[in-house]
Amino acid sequence: MRSKVMLSMLVGSMFTLALATVAMADGGKYSPIVDAKSELCYPLTLTFKRPSGVLKTSFAPVSFSHGQHGNIACGTCHHMWDGKGKIEGCATEGCHDNLKERQEPTSYFRAFHDKNAENSCLGCHMKTNIARKEKGQKPLSVAPCSNNGCHVAQK
């Protein structure tokens, strides 16, 4: 009995291996009808590591899920992306690289907290909440800053 189980496991794993080899032979990443010309790789979820030198805060670090924002076009947030090349981070030189101020348009802080920008976390969540309120839906948690949907207080 035991050897039969072993044998079927062995045959099973050989079969899987054979299938995997067939898939690998063609790059193996995509289905056979896809002839990929370029590709993009991006983090599904991430936690922000604050750049060194950025203004200090006692609020908890923020996590972000691309999946939870899947209905929003990439270019809304990645507003300098040309749609072809590499997508760069917000604090890239020449972008939101002013780490010491809060209100400058180039400030790192403002990339996420500009209440009037539709592509900052806070700006979009506040705008979303107006629409949600009208529809009687639960708002996204934006306040208090020390423990909201973004800066989730750590226990």
Task: Enumerate binding residues for ligand HEC (CB under 6 A).
Answer: 40, 42-43, 46, 62, 64, 66, 68-69, 72, 74, 76-78, 87-91, 112, 118-119, 121, 124-125, 128, 140-141, 149-150
In the bound state with ligand HEC, the residue whose beta carbon lies nearer, of 23 and 99, is: 99
Cα gap 155→60, rounded to integer Å: 10
CB of 124 to ligand HEC, least distance (A): 3
Full DSSP string of 93-138: TTSS-B-S-SSSTTBHHHHHH-TT-TTSHHHHHHHHHHHHHHTTPP
- How many Å from the N-terminal Cα to the C-terminal Cα in the chain? 52
Task: Give yes or no for a contact between 52 and 145, defined as CB atoms under 8 angstroms apart.
Answer: no
Q: Give the nearest distance from C-beta 118 to ligand HEC in angstroms.
A: 6
- To the nearest whole angstrom, how small is the minimum distance from the Cβ of residue 41 to ligand HEC? 7
Minimum distance from CB of 29 to ligand HEC (Å)? 16
